[in-house]
Structure 1
Amino acid sequence: MPPTFVVAIPRSLQTGKQSLTMQHALTTMPLPVITPPSRPDSDSLLSPDIMAHPSISVGMRSRPPLDITPKSRPRAISVPLSPSSSSSSSSSAIKNTTQCSSMTKLGKRCSRQVKLPSTHSHIDPIPVVYCHQHRDAMFHAQTGFYVRQKGMPDTFVEFSDYIPQYLQRDTQLALRVEMEKAASTSDVPGYIYTYEIRDTKRPGVIQLKVGRAVNLTKRLDQWGKQCGSKVPIVRGWWPGTVEDESDDDGTNGSLLTGNIKAGEPGPLCHRVERLVHIELADLVVHTPYLDPKFPKVDNSDTSPSTSGSPKKATMKPCLDCGAIHREIFAFPRPEKGRYKGREWELLVKPVIEKWGKFVSEYYA
């Protein structure tokens, strides 16, 4: 209810002599009640009209106290976005495009949409992608970088010492960015392991799962329970090596699950895995090793429009767990040449050892 204002009669009018007209008005007319127009409630503020008339006293009708106790309601559930669930990545999944990663001269990110390279569809999260203008400019801008390691002397690293020319230009640029990143404080020591997943229905393909683990033995056991229909065969791991003859130092020995001696872990296993995955994705999609001239092949000038579309066959959800195992790389087997039957030894293992050595030398 709005407050009511009662007009108080001055004492000088209640006593003393009044004219006949005033006496008649006081005895026959009721006291006026002034109801102001509705406005937001306020217990401490007065309207300008009331403040201008000191002879008007304010009376407030009683009203129930205001309940300011907050009403309880369920807490909103916060779900972290993954690259596949974010708006930009969802658009990329549908349209097969993504925004250019380069910065313009005005200090803003380039707004061009770029066709997603075939190799990047196999990697999560998606590596950097550049439009045609920034792609060429970035590639020719510099040949190396200075390692950012606190407390260490300046060391210049040449990209060509680690990135072969038979990789696509988009892959080379993605590797450059990952190489130059400062070491993450959340990265931990671990292992890079490789399984072979045998599939008798696909004799022309060798499937190699390359992943990371903090506890190698535990991770091998988890995989067997997670995807029971896939029988993994351990081929090797980094930084340990497996030789033909075993010894007692814990670094060599059996490849049988349950009989593996992992040895000491390597530094920054997340960083190593990221670099390895980017290069292996290029080898799987574009298969430069099938060229008779490999590794003396230069694909750095290959146009993205001629690089083909992502291979959907390797991106199907797992029938056991429903997940897409992006860390499984299906290599078409060479039919002849030195790489036939030696895909793990001559293609995959050298990539893992190379990036493991790079991280250990400059960021450990």
Structure 2
Amino acid sequence: MATAALPRTAREIRLAARPEGLPERAHFAVAEAPVPEPGPGQVLVRNRHFLVFPGLLTLIGGAVEGLPLPPLHAGDTLFGPAVGEVVAAPAGSPLRPGALVSHLLGWREYALVDAAACTPLDDTLPDPVAYLAQGSAPYGALTRLAGIRPGDTVLVTGAAGAVGTLAGQTARLLGAGRVIGTTGSPEKAERLVAELGYDTVLLRGTGRPIAEQLAGAAPAGIDVLVDTVGGEQLAAALGAARQGARFALVGALSAQLAPGRAGGGPPVEPVGIDPFRLVVRGISVRGYLGSEHPDVEEEWTGRFGAWLRSGGIRFPHVRIPGIDRAPQALRELAEGRHFGAVVVELADQAVSFGSCRQDPKETAWPGRRAVDTGVARDADR
């Protein structure tokens, strides 16, 4: 079953205590656990990379019911999207040692995964890490909910995050005429325009209301909203909505990343939504849930791979080396200190797809600039 001698133990990140607000390093523990032996229908995977995502803050906080993922309690190992290499598989399994797979048991060096919960990876994307990109949600929101049309003016809130950096580029590739973003950092705003093709970016926290900035940036109004934030920015978008505007909600960062909160619940400040305006403008507001659109993931992956290879899109992300730094990476994500996705890198050697070899130290591939390794000073939501 196994291809080589395995260590007896491996490290994983556990929740040591549930925080009252945003988690600190002390709320997590780096634990040693025995490397498990796969049973029938199970696969042992050596994780190479895993994603740090804001939804973990909601799961840790435990403040919201009805989520598609279980809440985390003290003593639980964290989890999330991961890419790894199969090291042991049951007899008769189509998965073989050495195969690359994606699954949802990140935050540990070795994962025991049900074979049915592993997705084999091929060379559709030129880098295995790109399978951790959070682009299927905005792609699905734009194609399934908003029905983006040529020439549309699109607003993306939280544009410098893992979703927003891909949402704006995707909107442009799907025909948007003007793409506007929001962020809390002047440095990130410059990058969004210079590197990712945003037409203009509105700055939160300048003393000038987002609604006022949006009125100046889109005097004729907006047609589509891809909202990752909620709160004041959602209200501003409603005020700027044109007749028949389509709003797709894919996140609620104003609640998840608010200091002193448990990662969920309503926005930090109550925001009045005028139902009369929704009616007379014919505005649609829908939340995007990936499980309701099972065909989107494969469709997005195919288009994403083609766009990456042609240079039509970039995948901004930062790679954090070592599982020990993962808890701090989650805190930095909450503080908005990175541009794009945040990925923890466990690999100590290159991972390859045939001739497309990707060294962990070399982070550029055709069609995109080298990955961001800097730390910005302000929040990106």
TM-score normalised over the length of structure 1: 0.27
- The structure having more radius of gyration, on CA atoms, is 1
Q: Relative contact order: is structure 1 or structure 2 higher (C-alpha 8 Å, sep ≥ 6)?
A: 2
| Greater fraction of residues in strand | 2
